[in-house]
Chain A
Amino acid sequence: MNKFLGNKTAILLFTLPTIVLFTIIVMWPTMQVFYRSMFDWDGLSAGKFIFLDNYKRLFEDRLFYTSLKNGIIFAIMLAVLQIGIGTVLALTISNKKIRGRKFLRVSYFIPVVLSVTVVCQLWLAMYNGEYGLINKIFETLGIPYRQDWLSNGKTAIYAVAAVNAWQNMGYHFALLLAAANSIPEQYLEAAKIDGAEKWKAHWKVTIPLMAETYKFCFVLAITGGLNAFANMQIMTGGGPGTDTYTLTYMMYRSAFRVGEFGYGTTAAAFLVIQCLIVTFAINKLIARDRIVY
């Protein structure tokens, strides 16, 4: 048996392609991000080692703070909207007596399977200052609220984040619904027999039992917000001015538009550290071992 399952040729044949491909395409560039963040580098020449000067420059760059702030706004918007709405929908629909459950579930999830480009183009049309759906609705309701959502520096980042929140809410909904359905009925019934109101029972019983899923949802929403890129690339190009820059967008511009590859990777390295801290903090805050089924 040992000889049978220890067949060296088979092991190499099965394992090596994946290891090699993964190392070259994923791990090597990941290490390069940190290494290159200490270089003054245009992407063509060998570059000059400048140690932490890029980081110093980053912390003095006003654009960095704009990007950081937008990343945080984006992350909070996603966490609050997706997890908040997702929770209400998932808990309500987990009641088996609701009619049209199948239809409702499909409606919430459909935007998730669309490409980000289609979703952004669609929302560009909806936000359009003259003919957009949203302004049309206000017009029909007789509310004089017409405006160009994306060219106003104050609303633009919220408008962009809302698009991402809208598209991926269904994903969080599906995760939360799966978690809610996996909780044994008795727990909720016991709480109800004790006289707890439905939402109180959910708050005290169901939601704590879903802690693992919430942990995942928060990590996903917050790191997703901090990493946001495609939405601004397609919808605003970082504008108006630099009002919708995020760190990933800043990195993209530095490297592919200005040719400062070293400085771009510095922003990326900072982003990786930021995401690791957030992931770690969420895992600490939402404790794992309190939950025993």
Chain B
Amino acid sequence: MPVDTSPPRDVRSLFPRLEALLPHVQKPIQYVGGELNSTVKDWDATDVRWALMYPDAYEVGVPNQGVMILYEVLNEQPDTLAERTYSVWPDMEALMREHGLPQFTVDAHRPVSAFDVLGLSFATELGYTNMLLALDLAGIPFNSADRTMDHPIVIAGGHSAFNPEPIADFIDCAVLGDGEQAVLEITDVIRAWKAEGRHGGRDELLMRLARTGGVYVPRFYDVDYLPDGRIQRVVPNRPGVPWRVSKHTVMDLDEWPYPKQPLVPLAESVHERMSVEIFRGCTRGCRFCQAGMITRPVRERSITGVGEMVERGLQATGFEEVGLLSLSSADHSEIAPMTKGLADRYEGTQTSLSLPSTRVDAFNIDLANELTRNGRRSGLTFAPEGGSERIRKVINKMVTEDDLIRTVTAAYSAGWRQVKLYFMCGLPTETDEDVLQIAELAKKVITTGREVTGSRDIRCTVSIGGFVPKPHTPFQWVGQLGHEATDARLAKLRDAVRSDRQFAKAIGFRYHDGKPGIVEGLLSRGDRRVGKVIKAVYDAGGRFDGWSEYFSFDRWMTAADQALADEPVDVDWYTTRDRDNNEVLPWDHLDSGLDRDWLWEDWQDALTGTEVDDCRWTPCFDCGVCPQMGTEIQAGPTGATLLPLTVLNSARDRVLSTADAE
């Protein structure tokens, strides 16, 4: 029997009270739970209970791989329980406040405040106000210092946790890196603490977690500031707390084939497909890319491991599309035999494959044809990121205009008519000229398409977003381009695309204004003083900041002016200011494995347009991760192949059996 020394709590289902509210809200199904492959466990048969939250709307959160993986890993443990909770929309929030209904999980509709842990996965900093909304509705004090033994431990994970300083006051802990093993280690610490009678209270539990070296407890560190506002130092304020906290790295993905039973919601979600992560990490070395920097080294799942996950997942879900996920999927050492093997296996079953991230130089037509053999032919998307050869060298994208033209030529020749290109605006050293080159590139793409197909029915969509410098990247020191300058540059590009009548109708242009990027920049590279701004924005009604219909730039700026009035810093200081090498950055005590000196050198290389090749096929360039973290590249090829599946038709035999017998 599990030992639970916590006081008894009312964990009866809130569903009867919720049910009365559901007829009055939009898309009520999102609050109902009961998704295929979801789990409801007996509360009393477990002793450590996690509420997992993706702090955005259900339709965005439910397909999130991170939450899905942790949900399954935790629920597989006999004495551990995990349920999910998502942000509620303002219509539901108003009703919950009116009727006194607290933040609930969708699995068993239990109050979030009754769990041992509230674990939040932050894919973007724009979810911070939604965390405050959940804490508020759950009845959990905003500040970790105000919480008691009656409240869950609030843990932040996800990429944003690599600089959790802006939310340091609101969270109890942050975990950097891969969560699969980390959640189990944390569960063990909590279980032991509870079994021993919860001696020492929250402080003792947080201390035990901090001592592992893999859990960051912000309150155990003091931050001192210089008179000019820069950080003087960040130091542990009690013995036994490590100076630096390390990220977690799962080394053998084949040992972690999660999710095995992906969730299938009834409600429509942003990803109507099943996803299999074919590798984790990326060493292409794009300097703007935080994901590539903080997830090193590359760890491939084997071709047979991928095959098993696809097979099991399709049987469990019935999805008709499988996304082969990673940061750059065509880079898997066995991508060709993998896609061919999967296309062979699922021939005639209307099952399509997709590679959500494909590099221009790694794409080829054989690959594309395998992807569309059994299903629908969607558009092709590539991300040259920068418009000019010069800027692509600055960001180390390592893709030339020739690469792009060669690839689109092949694609148009093979029957595609539509190509989508992603770019960024506001990259370091960028000028108007670099951005205007995007128009020239798009025109060349259209011209090429018209030549090789002999048709004028050719489209190219240019999507462009503002660049936000991120922690743990070579661009962590660079000043962000202001939103006015971003908007002015985008307007010039729009005019350049539209002015040429030869191309105006063939090129679609999608862009966002620069204001949300400034808020993202403030939250990405902010320090603990930014917490006051987040709280002020929440108090002023800020929620769902990732949604343009809810985001208010003015609300953020007003809140920042007021909250930072007594500080020597402001929004510009956090966003558009260049930092120099000796400034203490808010996240310097959080160890992503990257050597700070290497990051600085890479930043200097960027300024001279010096490119750095991928360490998978050239010698190590000493980014520092492998020696620091005790890891190494895990890549194939394994030489294995995917054999045809004989069991694929067993279910069909069942429905056909009687008819065949007749």
Q: Do A and B bind each other?
A: no
